[in-house]
Copies of this chain bind each other. A is one copy, B any other.
Amino acid sequence: MKDITLKEIATKLGISITTVSKALKNYPDVSEKTKRAVIELAQKLHYTPNSFAVNLRTKESKTIGLIIPEVVHHFFSNVVNAIINEAEKNGYLVIILQSNETLALEKKQVELLINKRVDGIIMSLSNESNNDDHIKEIMNRNIPFVMFDKIAKLSKCSKVVIDDQKAAFNAVQHLIDNGCKKIAHIRGPLNPQNAIDRYIGYKKALEKNNIPFDNKLVYTCETVTFEEGRDFAEQIINEHPDIDGIFAITDLVAVGALAYFNENKIKVPEQVAVIGFSNWFMSQVLTPKLSTVNQPSHEMGIESFNLLLEEMNCHKEGIPFTPRTIELETNVIIRESSIKFK
């Protein structure tokens, strides 16, 4: 079953390619009769325009690229889901690439997408990345570009974020309101902006409540995994037996801590209250159920795509576009792991 082209339809009907093309695009200057004939034959032969040729002519592929650290991640898979669906609604397909949290790979993925000439790029940075050359390159080339969640503050592009400082502040304030007096923080790596902001939020909450900040109570993840959460929990409880609360950079890490405490009969929340971040699905099915901060992943995906779409449209029309930042709301979800009193 070979591909049908305009040419074939044209020869079959004994007319010119141009007329066929025009007929199919419903140009006004084609007679109803030929129009009907063309459309009928096109349908019969299941004609669809060759997208390679269309891409070449129109210089757009109706395809966008999406780079994230990792799909197997509750938050990111939700964003991916939203972006794919939103893109499809608007006639775009999505190529997905993973940076695997390394700068080197991320650079490569950007290059691949640029060479592929996607119409736009949406991205969430790896832990190692910043406003590096590959990011600047995207903007230098004037490719529509949106960053979400893990962003580079200095990049002059559109962004979709939450207020990590405020969200973290609220999480820690909640622990304090529930009687915690000595709260440890398992933070993310030193580079990513959201880890920095959550850390600042933690500090601010302590400050506001006149709890002295102690650097020794801050533990820094490298891999941000379940295992790290478990290991840090052990370390924390050994180094600071009187700790009564933990704020973890993300649920996965909090779940690791929970696992350690459960196995070692350390009562959560009675002895140690725990709160995570991101509201992973599993958090609500654990024992005890994990308190956390809700991060609107779905909305983030939708907003990211729509910002990109707007920029792509401007780009096409040659209209200048001014990057915007959209900040979405978060809220603390209170479950069992942080309620000391009933």
Taking Cβ atoms with an 8 Å cutoff, the residues of A that contact B are: 1, 48-53, 55-56, 59, 61, 63, 70-74, 77-78, 80-81, 84-85, 88, 93-98, 112, 114-117, 140-142, 226, 255, 258-259, 262, 281-282, 285-287
Contact residues in B for A56 (Cβ distance below 8 Å): 50, 52-53, 55-56
Contact residues in B for A287 (Cβ distance below 8 Å): 262, 286-287
A56-B56, A95-B94, A98-B84 known; A72 vs B78 contact (CB < 8 Å): yes
Contact residues in B for A142 (Cβ distance below 8 Å): 1
Report the separation of the CA atoms of residues A72 and B74 in the bound assembly, to the nearest whole angstrom.
Answer: 7
Report the separation of the CA atoms of residues A141 and B3 in the bound assembly, to the nearest whole angstrom.
Answer: 9
- Of all A-B residue pairs in the complex, the 9 with the closest CB atoms, nearest first, are A282-B282, A52-B55, A287-B287, A52-B56, A72-B77, A48-B115, A93-B95, A77-B77, A71-B77
A285-B282, A285-B286 known; A81 vs B85 contact (CB < 8 Å): no
CB <8 Å contact, A116 and B97: no
**Chain B: CB-nearest residue to A105:** B88
CB <8 Å contact, B98 and A95: no
CB <8 Å contact, B55 and A84: no
**What are 19 A-B pairs with beta-carbon distances under 8 A?**
A1-B140, A1-B141, A48-B115, A50-B56, A51-B115, A51-B116, A52-B59, A52-B117, A63-B95, A71-B80, A72-B78, A80-B96, A84-B98, A85-B98, A88-B112, A94-B96, A281-B282, A286-B286, A287-B287
